[in-house]
Amino acid sequence: MKKLFEVKPVDEKFYRSGIRDFLPEKIIDIHTHIWKKRKDKTVYQKNRVVSWPSRVAEENPIEHLLQSYKLFFPGKQVIPLLFNSPTAGKNLDILNRYVIMSAKKYKLPSLMLSRPDWSEDKFSKRLARGNFLGVKPYLSFAPGNIRADSICIFDFIPHHQLEILNTGGKILLLHIPRSGRLRDSVNLSQMLEIERKYPKIKLIIAHVGRAYCIEDIGDAFKTLKGTRMFFDISANTNETVFLRLIETVGPERILFGSDLPITRMRMRRICEKGVYINLVPEGLYGDVSGDKNMREVTGKEAENLSFFMYEEIHAFRKTSEKAGLTRRDIEKVFYSNAARMLGDVGFIAGKRFKKL
């Protein structure tokens, strides 16, 4: 099989010097997208989603995902939690069917994309039919008459569906809405409401609540201290955010996630006035001049850029050293926390690793 992407000497050096020995031998990636390119792409209302991730990959079939791990992590074993991409097509049943087939073929765990307008019966039957361990709902599917910055969590994962997830003790991997991100008081209130009303749900807040810059935090961690919810670190590289997260919830409630395929991007992230900016090599991802979250660089700076994946792990490694995390703590974040959660919903990671 042709290599999916080039691994350059700068990447190999980055992996050997700061990634390989930091990671445990067994890894669970709790946040991955798989999809095949389709003609019926979903078109969302303006400002509901950022557009830059689509520049990384037009598709990411299961075979590409699995090959990515071989290229990123030679010598390691990785189990991904699969779900589709909300931009891959309009028919969620078709998208979920591809995940069902892929999960069955490779004996992997999976989540269902869901729509808020599905009734209790439709939601429940789809969950059972696909043997899904939970759901990954999206703010993009909230009713079209709601302005992007007014969308609330319950607009795209309503209470009748939360009741079903709670009854089954399922996973809810939640990408929170609104421009305030993690500091938004409505988000925080509804996150706490989910934990209080639906205690059996295994709640994971994706991307550390989309807190990519320190301005996104506010008083969130003070509010969230003492909660039971988990946080994945996918597509986040902010060391200060990671440190505050570790101080608040400890390594027992942090999960590694990649958000593949976007972490195949060759980049480095900075923050300016509370806005995250991905620095990328000039010309590599097309015309990015109109995207506030993208900026091109040239020369040595561009040549030294490595993968988003490595940047995320490198940032967490540096933070873990500052926080005094042990090898056992790192193993929890990258493997055993997720293994325990998946085991609670019926997927035994140890058995799958024996077959890898």
Could you read off the pLDDT of 271-302 as tens digits, one per residue? 999 999 999 999 999 999 999 999 999 999 99
On the question of a cis peptide bond just before residue 261, with omega within 30 degrees of 0, the verdict is yes
Quote the CA–CA distance of 294 and 266 in Å, as a whole number: 12
When pLDDT is cut at 50, 70 and 90, the band that residue 317 belongs to is very high
pLDDT above 70 for 304: yes
Over residues 210-237, the mean pLDDT reads 97
The range of the structural domain enclosing residue 181 comes to: 9-41+52-265+309-355
- Whether residue 3 is contained in a domain is answered as no
Whether residues 126 and 201 fall in one domain: yes
When the pLDDT of each residue in the chain is averaged and rounded to a whole number, the result is 95
Per DSSP, what are the bridge partners of residue 174?
205
70 contacts: CB under 8 Å, gap ≥ 6? none
Question: What pLDDT is attached to residue 50?
Answer: 80
Question: What pLDDT is attached to residue 249?
Answer: 96
Whether residues 202 and 289 fall in one domain: no
Question: What pLDDT is attached to residue 43?
Answer: 52
Q: Measure CA 151 to chain center.
A: 20
Over residues 348-353, the mean pLDDT reads 86
- Whether residue 84 is contained in a domain is answered as yes
When pLDDT is cut at 50, 70 and 90, the band that residue 46 belongs to is low
pLDDT above 90 for 355: no
Quote the CA–CA distance of 294 and 206 in Å, as a whole number: 21
Q: 308 and 55 in contact (C-beta within 8 Å)?
A: no
Q: How many CB atoms lie within 10 A of CB 309?
A: 27
**How many separate domains does the chain show?**
2
